[in-house]
Structures are given as structure tokens and as C-alpha cells.
Amino acid sequence: MARPPTERSLVPLLENKVCVVSGAAGSIGLATVRLILGEGAKVMMLDLKDEELKRAARDLPDDAIMTKVCDVANAGQVKAAFDATVARWGKLDVIFSNAGNQGSISTLADASEDEFDLTLTIHARGAFLACKYGPPLMKSGGSIIITSSVAGVRGGGGTNTAYVAAKHAQVGIMRSAARALAGRNIRVNTINPGAVDNAFQAGIEQQQSKILGINVTEQLNQTIPLKRHARANEIAGAVLFLASDLSSYVTGQVLMVDGGLMS
């Protein structure tokens, strides 16, 4: 049950909650780790490269974090990461399935078949494995959050078919998992960010600008009702809401965090 607002300043929202965050060395992942640590969580940080994990974790409290290299599309590595988390802190409360790649930025005709397969594997298989292997180790009342995108609810600009397909797939996985896990009181939702002010998004927009012959960043800022890209900590705030008991009656939902772009 969610606490009344009067208790918000007294008890951290995630006090002693056990959380796993993939893509933890990236912009949104690390912003989320910092935010939920401040709310009392214990966090297993997962990412593909050890040196990036070490850099991300260097100023974080050792007693509240663990780091582990993990390919989110590798079932054995995902299970090992969950098991290691449980071995240290006990059953899981929150899984933030956040790892992803940019996909191949190209026209549909020029799109790489191998890049298409890789992008679907990372995003869709990664979300699927989190929803398959995490719940047996989760407490009642647990929460799984998957990072999708505005690309998961629209067709995009025709320059990133693989990414659009993968992000739609994540929404389908979420809806299926939300139904399957509701009987165990485990909630599953996606956050769907729009344009975010980070290196990941900048890389996409630069490539799109070259293909389309326009300044995609400027166009987005004119199109978004709030007239700017999101900050990573604003996306993290949405994750915190879905991770906490404030969203105890929210499951199977697509939470748009897009500055009004899809309104």
C-alpha cells in the first residue's frame, strides 16, 4: 500500500529494497542508480563493459552497490546476475531492464539485416529474460520496469526500423508479463522516454540529420511541447515512481516521459 504524502519526508521510498539496474553505466541508468540509492535501495549495477561500470560506480557507496558485467541477451549471465544479487541482499524488489543500443541508423532500403537482428536481441530478448528469470526471485509487490521509447508507440522517421521494432516488442513483452505476473502481485510497466539530452540520443540525432538533411535536434525541440530534451534525472524520476509503492496499483502501462511529444 502506498504511503500517504505526509510520510514522504520521513521514510525513503525504497528503504532496504533490492534493485537490479541494467545499462547502469549509461546516462539514464546511472541517474536512476543515484536516485534510488538516495531513497535507501541496494543496487546491483549491470553493464556490458567492466571499465565503464567501474567508472560509474567509483563515487557510490560500496555497502549499497554491487557491479557485474552482464550481456542482457545471455540467459546464463542474466541468471547469474540475479543469483549474485539475491545471495548478498535477499530476494529482489525491483528490476530496471534498461540496457539497449542505438540500432542501425539508415533508410529502410539500406538497413543491415545483422544490425536488425542484434537490436531485436538486445532490446526484446533482454526484456524477455528479465521478465522470465527475475520474478522467481522477487518478493510479492515487486516491480519490473522496462525502458522502451516514444519509438515504441509510433513509426519513427523511417531511419531506424530495427530500433522502432525492438521498442514496440518491449511494450508487447511488458503487457504479456504484466498479465502473467499479476497473480503474484508483481507489476510490470514500460517507461517511454522521448528525446533525452545525452550522448546516446545525440548520436542518433546526428546520424538522422545527415540522412534527412535537416537539424533533427532543433526540429525536435520545436516539436516537443516543453521545447527541450529531457534530462536523465527526469527519466530516473519516472523510474522511481514505478519502482516504489506510490505506483502499487499501476501495471501493464506505458508511461510516456516525452515532454508532451505524443500528446
Whether 163 is catalytic is yes
Contacts of 45 (CB under 8 A, 6+ apart): 21, 24, 25, 29, 33, 53, 56, 57, 65, 66, 67, 68
Choosing from 148, 163, 205, 243, the catalytic residue is: 163
Domain layout of the chain by residue ranges? 12-196+231-257
**Distance between CA atoms of residues 33 and 19, nearest Å:** 9
Instruction: Report the length, in residues, of the chain.
Output: 263
pTM score of the predicted model: 0.93
Integer CA distances (angstroms), 139 to 18, 159, 187, 196, in order: 10, 41, 11, 32
**Distance between CA atoms of residues 15 and 33, nearest Å:** 14
CATH superfamily of 12-196+231-257: NAD(P)-binding Rossmann-like Domain (3.40.50.720)
- Reading the chain (263 residues) residue by residue, the pLDDT tens digits are 555 554 455 789 999 999 999 999 999 999 999 999 999 999 999 999 999 999 999 999 999 999 999 999 999 999 999 999 999 999 999 999 999 987 778 888 888 999 999 999 999 999 999 999 999 999 999 999 999 999 999 987 778 899 999 999 999 999 999 999 999 999 999 999 999 999 888 888 888 888 888 898 999 999 999 999 999 999 999 999 999 999 999 999 999 999 999 99
Contact indicator for 261, 194 with CB cutoff of 8 Å: yes
